[in-house]
Amino acid sequence: MSPHTPQLPDALTDYVALASQIKKTIESPDPKIQRKEFNAYRDKVRDIVFDHCPPYASPPLVYSDRVTKSLRSVTNWVSLLTGCDKGTKSLVYSMISSATELCGNRREYHNYRHMFDVLLNAGMLTALWFDSFECNVPRNNRNKIFLAMILAAAFHDVVMEYHSPAGTSERESSNALLKAHKCYAFRNHNSEGSNYLRYEVELASRLILGTVPSFRKSLKGSVARLNEEAMRANPSQDLLHECLACNLGAILADADVMDSLCYAYPKAIGQTNRVRRELWSNGIDANVTLEGFYTTLVPDGFISVPGRIFQPIFALNLSRFKPSR
């Protein structure tokens, strides 16, 4: 990594410390203050993690110095949190770079800037989950889980098939992740080939497949049921694996729409308008599509275990939480 990569605050390089800082932003009993404090904190962390994150409006070209600087910075954050070795750090940089290139900057909403947001959201929610009593992931396995979540967030929207059946974009995005991993191993003549970080990559690819918006409501029910079953005596390994994947899938699903769930109405509608313009430009009826999308969010809001602490913010937004016509 570049010697000019900025020093990160200690609170951003430890799961417990990061979770603690996030919780402090929502200590107030007033949801309006919670919303203000949390979004301000998230904006601040975004600029630290991505070393002054590029703007949503007209984001710079993928190969610009500014984007390269952000890629180095976020890779540094991930490596410090997970304590990964030099080889893993190189792979993470390569994979996020590949996702950034695939997302590009031409789509109005689903560009690399959205991917950066989802990556940060997923990282923050995962840190919160590690700090919850429902999390049954052994401490010595949490770095692997975090890396898988980062890879899933990076690739979750790299392919957008606007006129294909539901799930097509997610399946193609998952395949793009697997292909990027194989390409990295081939380019670097890795002695273990595609087995290098295979667990993290395969888990990430599975998580991407579960981000279809229509899955949200069933995913919420599955999280509650599996967590309850996993708390019983002597759960099977198959149950624990299914519980893990379900919890992580809910986290990724929440991370993907966190702006819509947490931003105050005017700013959330700004994001919706970007989606609207992207849909219309691809020949999609934006009104019908967004109406369907919002029905997957209301009235449940957050569906993941760590997302529950933000429900007061979502409830505050709920009365105006719908696309404008």
Q: What is the pLDDT of residues 119-159, one digit of tens each?
A: 999 999 999 999 998 898 888 999 999 999 999 999 999 99
Instruction: Provide the pLDDT confidence category of residue 289 given band limits of 50, 70 and 90.
Output: confident
Our CA angle for 71, 267, 22, nearest 5°, is 60
Taken in order 229, 232, 238, 242, is the CA torsion positive or negative?
Answer: positive
Mean pLDDT within 10-38? 92
Using alpha carbons only, how large is the chain's radius of gyration in Å? 19
Q: Is the per-residue pLDDT at 49 higher than 90?
A: yes
Helices (H), 83-215: 86-103, 112-130, 142-155, 168-187, 198-209
Q: What is the pLDDT of residues 154-211, one digit of tens each?
A: 999 999 988 888 889 999 999 999 999 988 887 776 555 456 788 999 999 999 998 8
Our CA angle for 69, 198, 113, nearest 5°, is 30
- The better pLDDT of the pair 292, 88 is held by 88
pLDDT of 1 reads 43
Closest CA to 31 of 264, 247, 230: 264
pLDDT of 218 reads 87
Question: DSSP letters along 218-273, please?
Answer: HHHHHHHHHHHHHTSSS--HHHHHHHHHHHHHHHHHHHHTHHHHHS-HHHHHHHHH
- The better pLDDT of the pair 289, 34 is held by 34
Query: CA-CA distance, 83 to 71, in Å (whole number)?
Result: 18
Q: Is the per-residue pLDDT at 295 higher than 60?
A: yes
Q: Is the per-residue pLDDT at 38 higher than 90?
A: yes
Closest CA to 296 of 239, 237, 244, 256: 256
**pTM (predicted TM-score):** 0.92
Mean pLDDT within 47-76? 92
Instruction: Provide the pLDDT confidence category of residue 115 given band limits of 50, 70 and 90.
Output: very high
pLDDT of 189 reads 62
Q: CA dihedral in degrees (30, 262, 148, 167; nearest 10)?
A: 140
Q: Is the per-residue pLDDT at 5 higher than 80?
A: no
Query: CA-CA distance, 70 to 105, in Å (whole number)?
Result: 14
Q: What is the pLDDT of residues 222-238, one digit of tens each?
A: 999 999 998 887 889 99
pLDDT of 226 reads 92
Query: CA-CA distance, 83 to 157, in Å (whole number)?
Result: 27
Query: CA-CA distance, 285 to 307, in Å (whole number)?
Result: 30
Q: Pull the structure tokens for residue 3.
A: 């010697």
Q: Pull the structure tokens for residue 29.
A: 């009993």
CA 164 and chain centroid, separation: 23
Q: What is the pLDDT of residues 73-99, one digit of tens each?
A: 999 999 999 999 988 999 999 999 999
Percent of the chain with pLDDT over 70: 92
